Homo-oligomer: A and B are copies of this chain.
Amino acid sequence: MTKVGILTSGGDCPGLNAVIRGAVLKGETVHGQEFVGFLDGWRGLVEGDAVPLDRSSVRGLSNQGGTILGTSRFGPYQTPEGGAQNIARTLDKLGVDAVIAIGGEGTAAASKRLFEEGIRIVGVPKTIDNDLGRTDYCFGFDTAVEIATVAIDRLRTTGNSHKRCMVLEVMGRHAGWIALHSGTAGGAHAILIPEQPESIDQICAWAMSVRDRGRAPMVVVAEGFTLPDMTEAHSHKGLDGFDRPRLGGIAEILAPIIEERTGIETRATVLGHIQRGGVPTAFDRVLATRLGMAVTDLVADEDWGHMVALHGTRIARVGFDEALAHHKLVPQERYQEMRVLFG
């Protein structure tokens, strides 16, 4: 019987538990696999800190946010105890035949290297920002968009009541997918993303055009957006390598500038961590469950070095190398598609 170890790595993401549940249920039932969970991401794998996982461990998990295995930003090559050779020894000792690593770009890169160095490893892509290549969507993204959209709905009534411009900062350090989707869903008058420069003059022009129609401007900005003309005031933020929603981030920089230049009272809100926790949407639960189930097929097929992915409505297999070769930013045409409506 194949014994499979699962780990969840990187930032929290709604649907992690559903992936674990899907893998354990299908792996046990269909492939006769046995499971353990490594605790706190790669740390559990490197240190051999694992717990048994079976059907009863995963019951009721489809709608639970977070991960029962814990997660961390620890990497498998980060300490002397890590690396492929040590990990191979640890897996041997635990009798674990294969590893399922659920994580984002860093996890995929580490998994690729481990695979190349002989570890039997497969992956499930996970990024709230939706910027991993070769998959249409990652689970967690839909939930984040829904939460941001509901926030926009709320902010808009207050904006309209006070004739204020409301600026909402959402996640997206390098990719503006959450801003683009939630801004579209919420009917924002401007969407600002890291991939596409917009000048403060343009942003203020949009705000004034909305005000001139008697409406309250709604601006959605991804945390990674920067003003082309912005200098030290903001630039030190780029040095922050941590998963910390930047209070005093771009929304707080933009709001007073918009207010000063347009004369429209402007308020900033930073949505922060609530975008990545809690009950997943049905869309994310279905996607996570299907990915979790499908990744056990990769193990059964010994299709090491691959991860599962969503192509249209179909679950596909993609090599780690291929996924890593494509950082999925918002393409120019998707942004332009919406930009024509701004203001």
Contact = CB atoms under 8 A, between A and B. Distances in A.
Interface stretch (A56-64, A92-100, A233-241): A56-64
Given A157-B277, A158-B12, A282 B63 contact: no
A61 B286 CA distance: 25
A274 B59 CA distance: 21
Interface stretch (A104-112, A141-149, A319-327): A141-149
Given A149-B285, A285-B149, A285-B184, A269 B273 contact: yes
Nearest to A272: B269
A265 to B, nearest CB: 9
Interface size class of chain A, counting residues whose CB lies under 8 Å from the partner chain: 35 or more
- Oligomeric state, in copies: 4
Interface stretch (A24-32, A82-90, A299-307): A24-32
Contacts of A142: 282-283
Interface of A: 8, 12, 14, 16, 21, 25-26, 29-30, 40, 55-56, 59-67, 70-72, 136-137, 142, 145-151, 153-163, 166, 181-182, 184-187, 213, 215, 244-245, 247-248, 251-252, 267-274, 276-279, 281-283, 285-286, 289-290, 293, 311-313, 337, 340-341
Given A149-B285, A185-B285, 19 more contacts: A8-B161, A12-B161, A16-B161, A21-B187, A61-B187, A62-B187, A63-B185, A63-B187, A65-B157, A67-B161, A70-B162, A137-B313, A148-B282, A153-B277, A155-B277, A245-B267, A247-B251, A247-B252, A268-B272
